[in-house]
Amino acid sequence: MSGTHKLTWHQRLVMYWVDHLRQLFASLGELWRTPLSSLMTIAVLGVSLALPASFYVLLKNAESVSSFWQSQAQISLYLKQNSAEDQVKAFQTRLEGMSEIYKVTYISPEQGLSDFSGAAGFAEALDLLEQNPLPAVLILNLSESGRQPDMAELLLADMNAEPLVATARLDMAWLARLSGIVELMRQAVVGMAVLLLAGVLLVVSNTLRLNILSCRYEIEVMKLVGATDGFIHRPFLYVGLWYGIIGGLLAWWLTLIMVFWLSHKVSALAALYQSDFTLLGLGLNESLLLVLTGTLLSLLASGFSVRRHIRAIEPA
């Protein structure tokens, strides 16, 4: 026994990982031995992951549009006729110091009349008026906190109570509707994602169950010769790992194709509204999260299915 060579701990560690890598790539070969079944499973996984990813892209773009529209939320203050210039300037300065307002634009009666005559094409008719009927106007662009429906409504009431203000206007209904639609979409995406990701778990679990049953006799022989549970489980877990990785990559590719296909339609629609809006896709972190989610879910389903079904197989 003196001639035997005892391995050091780092040599054992290297051999441990080499053995895992060998089984990892050997399990990839297992997919090629059953190409039709593997492709069907990967396709189902890819579609199941691509659907919630596509809904997330839809929600992401809806939130982007919502943020842009909400950033345009304004309160228009129509001041009383013959308001003193110094009072208006002092009022404007006070409004600019409020946290709910990030910009105040003053439109004088003369500027308002000029803009209206140029836009409406009534220049000749307006020239017949003896005096300017338009009041001075203050346009309040709301900050992020001021755009919240409750805060905007409170601010509108405060503006109506100001002595210089004849009328304050803000379309509150569209702000509330917009916030409600985005929140509904957010909840729908979460619910859809839960259902489809549960489908991923079921597909992987059932596929590995069939794989285990097809290898029942080999598993019985391995148990008879003293193979550990970890050794028996490992190839099936790696098959599940490959399902998750390839299915996640397929889902990313399908989502990318969908965004590319729709981007031209969205750009053409935005051009009709004189907007340069472009469809947002998955970022790098979101793409990695999609693949990682598919991998982790597949591993979770693999671990549950492998432990359950291999434990039920005992040599006669």
Here the CATH number for the domain that contains residue 115 is 3.30.70.3040
Q: Which of 209, 94, 79 is nearest to 138 (CA)?
A: 79
Say yes or no: 78 and 145 in one domain: yes
Instruction: Determine the straight-line distance between the first and last CA of the chain, rounded to whole angstroms.
Output: 38
Q: For residue 141, which of 196, 74, 79 has the smallest C-alpha distance? A: 74
Among 282, 247, 245, smallest CA distance to 263 is for: 282
> Of 143, 170, 197, which residue is a domain's last?
170
- Name the domain boundary from 170, 195, 211: 170
- Cut 0.95: pTM above it: no
Q: How many CB atoms lie within 10 A of CB 8?
A: 9
The string of DSSP letters for 243-292 reads HHHHHHHHHHHHHHHHHHHHHHHHHHHHHHTT---------HHHHHHHHH
What pLDDT sits at residue 252? 92
pLDDT at 249: 92
Same domain, 107 and 251: no
CA angle 217, 220, 222 (to 5 degrees): 110
Shared domain for 45 and 119, answered yes or no, is no
Indicate whether 145 and 256 sit together in one domain: no
DSSP state of 227: -
Cα→Cα distances 274→19, 48, 267, 268, Å: 61, 36, 10, 10
Q: Domain ends where: 126, 148, 170?
A: 170
| Residues 179, 152: Cα–Cα separation, whole Å | 13
Provide the pLDDT for residue 79: 83
User: Per the structure block, which two tokens stand in for 266?
Assistant: 């969205």
Count other Cβ atoms within 10 Å, centred on residue 248.
29
> Could you tell me if 238 and 275 lie in one domain?
yes
| Averages of pLDDT over each 10 residues, the chain, 316 residues | 57 65 66 76 87 87 72 76 81 83 79 60 54 74 73 82 82 68 82 82 81 73 71 77 88 90 78 71 88 87 77 67
Evaluate whether 78 touches 165 at the Cβ level (below 8 Å): yes
Q: Are 159 and 77 in contact (CB under 8 A)?
A: yes
Based on the fold, state whether residues 130 and 263 are members of the same structural domain.
no
Give me the sign of the Cα torsion angle 127, 131, 133, 135.
positive
Strand-pair partners of 141: 74, 103
C-alpha span between 211 and 213 (Å, rounded): 6
Q: Are residues 220 and 143 in the same domain?
A: no
Looking at the structure, do residues 186 and 165 belong to the same domain, yes or no? Answer: no
* Residues 111 and 229 reside in one and the same domain: no
In this structure, are 197 and 293 located in the same domain? yes
Q: Is residue 10 part of a domain?
A: no
Q: How many domains are contained in the chain? A: 2
| pLDDT of the residue at 13 | 67
Other beta carbons less than 10 A from residue 10's beta carbon: 8
Q: Which domain holds residue 130?
A: 74-170
pLDDT number for residue 226: 74
Q: Is 168 left (phi over 0), alpha (psi -120 to 50) or beta?
A: beta
In a domain, 100, yes or no: yes
Query: Do 63 and 186 share a domain, yes or no?
Result: yes
187/302 same-domain check: yes
* pLDDT at site 122: 56
- Separation of alpha carbons 65 and 273, rounded Å: 13
Cα–Cα dist 240/99, whole Å: 54
3-state secondary structure of 2: coil
